[in-house]
């Protein structure tokens, strides 16, 4: 029964994470343009910051995010579906195949620097605030 219960929480979070990714990525792409994958970068970097915050909250052992169910819903479900390595990979490949190696490399570098950096920032700031 526990695996069924956990699966329901992950599925519920994934549904909303997918909707949020679709909405935010599309909004950014329509606002800024699609010559560079700004929508995917925005989603992945905001998701990285959020997972750092939730990780910091969970590590404190206090509050709702220290509970397994909340983690399944928000981090595994919502953020797991919200962030997207597959879109990042395909968009980077498309830029490279189109001969735009500068933008392809820029997408990789910004993602590799910003995502872990924002996850660490969220984690550090949250643990300092909570403790």
Cα gap 89→59, rounded to integer Å:
31
Per-residue CA distances from 91 to 27, 55, 99, 124 (Å): 17, 28, 13, 31
The model's pTM is 0.91
DSSP, residue by residue, 66-95: GSHHHHIIIIIIIIHHHS-HHHHHHHHHHH
Per-residue DSSP letter, 131 = -
- Average pLDDT over the chain, rounded to an integer: 94
The CA distance from 40 to 10, in Å, is 22
The answer to whether the CB of 125 falls within 8 A of the CB of 56 is yes
> Of 3-12, 56-65, 92-101, 113-122, which gets the smallest average pLDDT?
56-65
* Residue 13: per-residue pLDDT: 97
Which residue range is the domain that position 34 belongs to?
A: 2-130
Is the dihedral angle over the CA atoms 73, 78, 80, 81 positive or is it negative?
Answer: positive
In tens, the pLDDT along 103-130 reads 999 999 999 999 999 999 999 999 999 8
pLDDT tens, position by position, 38-49: 999 999 999 999
Contact predicate 79/50, CB 8 Å: yes
Tokens 């220290």 sit on residue: 66
Domain count, the chain: 1
């Amino acid at each position: 029964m526990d695996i069924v219960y956990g699966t329901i929480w992950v599925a519920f979070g994934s549904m909303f994470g997918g909707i949020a990714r679709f909405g935010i990525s599309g909004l950014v792409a329509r606002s800024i343009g699609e010559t560079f994958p700004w929508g995917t970068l925005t989603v992945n970097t905001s998701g990285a910051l959020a997972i750092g915050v939730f990780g910091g909250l969970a590590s404190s052992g206090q509050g709702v995010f220290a509970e397994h169910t909340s983690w399944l819903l928000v981090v595994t479900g919502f953020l797991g579906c919200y962030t997207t390595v597959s879109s990042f990979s395909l968009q980077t490949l498309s830029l490279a195949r189109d001969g735009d190696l500068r933008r392809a490399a820029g997408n990789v570098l910004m993602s590799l620097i910003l995502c872990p950096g924002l996850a660490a920032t969220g984690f550090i700031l949250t643990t300092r605030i909570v403790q």
